[in-house]
Amino acid sequence: MAKVVRGGNMFFEDDIRIIDSELDIPLNLPAPPIFSRDELQIVYNGHVYVASRGSQSTGRIKAYTMTFGLKETDSPKVQEDKYLSDNSTSINKQKQDFIERVVNGIADIDPSLPKTRAGSQISQELADRISKVYEKINKPQKQNPMGKGLITKLDDGSVFNSEMQGCERVLILDRKIYDLLTIPEYVSIFQNSFEPKFYKELEKQCQNLSPKEISRIISENTDKIHRKVVPKVRNKIWHSDRSSELYLDGTCWIPQYRSSGGGLVQIYQLLLEKKLKIEAARSIKW
Amino acid sequence: MVDERKHVGEIVKNLMPLHDLEYKVVFNLHENTFFQRLVSKDVLEKVRAKPEEYFKALIFLDYFSRVIDNDCSVCDNLENLSKALRDQERARNEDKGEKGPSYLTLETVVFETGLFAKEKLVKSGRKDIAKKEESEIKKRYLQEKPVDLSSPDSRKLDPFYEAIGEMVSSQVSDKLQPYLNSVKSRADIGAIVFADSVLSVLQDKVSIQEVQNKLAMNDCYSASISALKALMKESSIPKIQSSIEKNGS
């Protein structure tokens, strides 16, 4: 039982303990990056794209009659680093407050004293317990793509790319989330409303034809599709010169509304919070 | 010179959405954004109009229902009219879908709205809109808070909303598009689209000039009220019938 002496007072290592009930206390973090950016964004395999007046070589997006190029913007790692550095004063203070709140008695220890084995142990124990508490985060399912094969996300070491699920291929607009579906994926939603033989033919043709041509085939075969489904399946693919279009990675994508982004933002915030708390635990100086 | 497309796009981006309806199927991303910012749910769910005039008809009716009349009954009338025309088509075994008369033209929507307003006035025993009623309309108009684009908190234009600005601008005839440069609120946009829609069917040259003069003074509200008054005078059942016949032929 080592004694720690500071200012003439005596402390016992046994008095230094982790208060479990405080581990998941929320930090007061600003809105997390990526979701708080105030423009249309496309997150694709861990890369982030925005609409731009420039080149359309990477991809393009059309809304109503206007077409814009897609430009890759800062990676999630760069955005997270900027977020942490822009808010460093507040974040460092909150990390310190967290440690003092969650480790009983630590505030009384002189931080200039050399690091002890007990200090390292409590640091490791605290980091483990934080990880365990945050394992309970109800993460969304990974997206399950069919049309464009397996998703290989950018490995940039960001929380967003390493831990956030359900954001593999999404469009973010006004903090709402839209899944990006290939045309075959989108058509498959209505599979049961198609004559099976025609569905198989269309599925094959979807691989090679333009949205306009696919829309034309649907219009010419309305007797093979349930009447009420025809406008639903056709209009999102192509209905006129005023239709939306999104091309990226050589594929046409259809944004399909999933949810208001609130849930994902909250999860991302919790994952950032976990990272910061673990960093705080590892920085315990004693 | 301000590009009205950019100006309107920035204004629309800064409007609080009227609802969060997302039509997962049928409508595109920009169409849903247009609905959320400019068309109330009640109007959206009841009106069936020709695809090329659909968005203009929706703004026209949203302005009439929310600002002028404070009631969506005219949309019920239009819904019933569409259904009756569709039933007639089906009875003749010739359902033409959006190409048939049950998808109303803007002209039919405008005259039906004019007749609705006129009948309401007749029922109340008045010949003109009462001053009290006009002040109520003005009050509702002013409830639509103007967007302050100079505020540091205002949302900045991005390409997607520029396209939304283009979509809104293209609902207004070329002649009236420059007036969009002065809009500050959803009500301003509604008033210009309303006045423009009425101007497209009005015959009386004096009334037309009066509406145009008010628009030229950037007084969108007064232009819409003058347009409404002129429309009430000109709307009649034969005009509605004629517009439906033109649509069906």
B115-141 pLDDT tens trace = 999 999 999 888 889 999 999 999 999
* Cross-chain Cβ contact B160/A61 below 8 Å: yes
For B241, list phi and psi in degrees, rounded to 5. Answer: -60, -45
Mean pLDDT of chain A, nearest integer? 86
pLDDT (0 to 100) of residue A1: 45
For B183, list phi and psi in degrees, rounded to 5. Answer: -70, 145
Q: What percent of chain B has pLDDT over 70?
A: 98
pLDDT (0 to 100) of residue A160: 94
pLDDT (0 to 100) of residue A5: 53
Q: Name every residue whose Cβ is closer than 8 Å to that of residue A76 and which is 6 or more positions away in sequence.
A: A33, A34, A46, A48, A154, A156, A158, A159, A160, A161
* Cross-chain Cβ contact B158/A50 below 8 Å: yes
- Is A228 at the interface with chain B, CB within 8 A? no
pLDDT at A33 over 70: yes
How many CB atoms are located within 10 Å of the residue A207 CB? 11
Q: What is the mean pLDDT of residues A111-138?
A: 78
* Cross-chain Cβ contact B30/A52 below 8 Å: no
For testing contact with chain A, the best of B28, B31, B154, B171 (most A CBs within 10 A): B28
Three-class DSSP labels, chain A: CCEEEECCEEEEHHHCEECHHHCCCCCCCCCCCCCCCCCCEEEECCEEEEEECCCCCCEEEEECCEEEEEEECCCHHHHHHHHHHHCHHHHHHHHHHHHHHHEECHHHCCCCCCCCHHHHHHHHHHHHHHHHHHCCCCCCCCCCCCCCCCCCCCCCCCHHHHHCCCCCEEEEECCEEEEEEEHHHHHHCCHHHECHHHHHHHHHHHCCCCHHHHHHHHHHCHHHECCCCHHHHHHHHCCCCCCCEEEECCEEEEEEEEEECHHHHHHHHHHHHHHHHHHHHHCCCC
pLDDT digits (tens, 9 = 90+) for A79-101: 999 999 999 999 999 998 998 88
What's the token pair of residue A242? 């005023």
Chain B residues touching A54 at Cβ < 8 A: none
Chain A residues touching B158 at Cβ < 8 A: 38-40, 50-51
pLDDT (0 to 100) of residue A10: 58
Q: What percent of chain A has pLDDT over 90?
A: 56
Cα B117 from Cα B73, distance rounded (Å): 10
Chain A residues touching B33 at Cβ < 8 A: 173-174
Boundaries of every domain in chain B: 4-248
CB-nearest to B28 from A174, A244, A260 is A244
- Residue ranges in B39-158 assigned as alpha helix (H): 41-44, 54-62, 73-91, 106-123, 131-143
Closest B-chain CA to A50: B159
Cα A213 from Cα A221, distance rounded (Å): 12
**Cβ–Cβ < 8 Å for A125, A18:** yes
pLDDT level of residue A137 (50, 70, 90 thresholds): confident
Closest B-chain CA to A235: B26
3-state secondary structure of B137: helix
Q: Using alpha carbons only, how large is chain A's radius of gyration in Å?
A: 26
CB-nearest to A243 from B22, B28, B166 is B28
pLDDT at B183 over 90: yes
For testing contact with chain A, the best of B5, B56, B158, B170 (most A CBs within 10 A): B158
A166 Rama sector, left if φ>0, alpha if ψ -120 to 50, beta otherwise: left
Q: Name every residue whose Cβ is closer than 8 Å to that of residue B219 and which is 6 or more positions away in sequence.
A: none
- Is B164 at the interface with chain A, CB within 8 A? yes
* Cross-chain Cβ contact B158/A51 below 8 Å: yes
Looking at per-residue confidence, does B148 or A3 come out higher? B148
* Cross-chain Cβ contact B26/A178 below 8 Å: no
Strand A103-104, strand A66-72: pairing: unpaired
Q: What is the mean pLDDT of residues A182-204?
A: 93
Compute the nearest-CA separation of B110 from chain A (Å).
24
Q: What is the mean pLDDT of residues B48-69?
A: 96
CB-nearest to A63 from B25, B163, B170 is B163
pLDDT at A198 over 80: yes
For testing contact with chain B, the best of A60, A66, A186, A239 (most B CBs within 10 A): A66
Q: What is the mean pLDDT of residues B140-162?
A: 96
- Is A236 at the interface with chain B, CB within 8 A? yes
Looking at per-residue confidence, does B236 or A145 come out higher? B236
- Is B81 at the interface with chain A, CB within 8 A? no
- Is B136 at the interface with chain A, CB within 8 A? no
pLDDT digits (tens, 9 = 90+) for A147-173: 555 667 788 899 999 998 888 999 999
Compute the nearest-CA separation of A51 from chain B (Å).
6
What's the token pair of residue B86? 């569709």
Boundaries of every domain in chain A: 15-175+261-286, 183-253
Mean pLDDT of chain B, nearest integer? 94
CB-nearest to A38 from B32, B156, B163 is B156
pLDDT digits (tens, 9 = 90+) for A234-248: 989 999 999 999 999
pLDDT (0 to 100) of residue A147: 53
pLDDT (0 to 100) of residue B99: 79
CB-nearest to A51 from B27, B28, B160 is B160
pLDDT at A197 over 70: yes
pLDDT (0 to 100) of residue A110: 62
pLDDT at A6 over 60: no
pLDDT (0 to 100) of residue A249: 92
ipTM score over 0.85, yes or no = yes
pLDDT (0 to 100) of residue B100: 80
Cα A20 → chain centroid: 28
- Is A54 at the interface with chain B, CB within 8 A? no
- Is A240 at the interface with chain B, CB within 8 A? yes
Closest A-chain CA to B10: A39
CA dist B105 to A238, B101, B102, B208, B235, Å?
23, 8, 9, 21, 15
